[in-house]
């Protein structure tokens, strides 16, 4: 089955490919030649995921899923949240985003946070949602070279290493995205979706 993952992010694509069963031929927006920006104008993760999945389904007539992920920091009333990728500006610069977050938390004792992912799957013009989350805390300095985004400053609950220090396999098992995608994959298998 050809399934579109509504992303240009090759890191995310590789992460998800490792989780998918072999009968799914996963393609990205880049593979489709979809280079126009897809608006993410909703004020929730669920809303943004649906906007992206619907756009691809209507434009290319292919089943599609899109995800939106946010980092919600308790001491900042849930910020950066839906604006996580653009927290420090429209450039989506991960280092600038981390630097801004670390600066905003400098005088805060409470560093608890959670990552949340919402996936919208559009099959036959019908949308289903799958969610995953993981609790943890924001470290005071960046650690690790794996992963992407805020991974170098997010330490998941029960671990003494950041997401960027953990092996990808471990991150997929305990992480927000891995949990949400496990639900998506279980659904696809249960529905016996085949080529």
Contact status, residue 144 vs residue 152, Cβ threshold 8 Å: yes
Q: What span, in angstroms and rounded, lies between the C-alpha atoms of 107 and 172? A: 32
Kindly give, in sequence order, each residue whose CB lies less than 8 Å from that of residue 174, ignoring residues fewer than 6 positions away: 134, 156, 159
Contact status, residue 65 vs residue 118, Cβ threshold 8 Å: no
Query: Which residue matches tokens 């600038």?
Result: 96
Q: 168: closest CA among 19, 23, 9? A: 19
**For this structure, is 74 an active site residue?**
no
Query: Which residue matches tokens 């009333």?
Result: 77
Catalytic residue among 54, 68, 74, 110: 68
Q: Which residues are catalytic?
A: 68
């Amino acid at each position: 089955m050809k399934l579109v993952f509504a992303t240009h992010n090759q890191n995310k694509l590789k992460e998800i490919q490792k989780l998918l069963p072999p009968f799914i031929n996963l393609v990205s927006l880049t593979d489709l030649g979809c280079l126009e920006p897809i608006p993410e104008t909703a004020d929730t993760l669920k809303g943004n995921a649906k906007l992206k999945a619907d756009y691809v389904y209507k434009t290319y007539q292919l089943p599609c899923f899109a995800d939106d992920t946010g980092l919600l920091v308790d001491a900042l009333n849930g910020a950066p949240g839906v604006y996580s990728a653009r927290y420090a500006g429209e450039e989506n610069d991960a280092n600038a985003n981390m630097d801004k977050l670390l600066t905003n938390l400098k005088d805060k004792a409470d560093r608890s946070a959670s990552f949340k992912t919402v996936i919208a799957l559009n099959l036959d013009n019908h949308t289903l949602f799958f969610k995953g989350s993981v609790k943890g805390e924001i470290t005071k300095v960046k650690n690790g070279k794996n992963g992407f985004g805020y991974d170098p400053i997010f330490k998941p609950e029960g671990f003494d290493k950041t997401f960027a220090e953990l092996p990808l396999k471990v991150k997929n098992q305990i992480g927000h995205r891995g949990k949400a995608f496990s639900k998506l994959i279980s659904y696809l298998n249960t529905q016996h979706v085949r080529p």
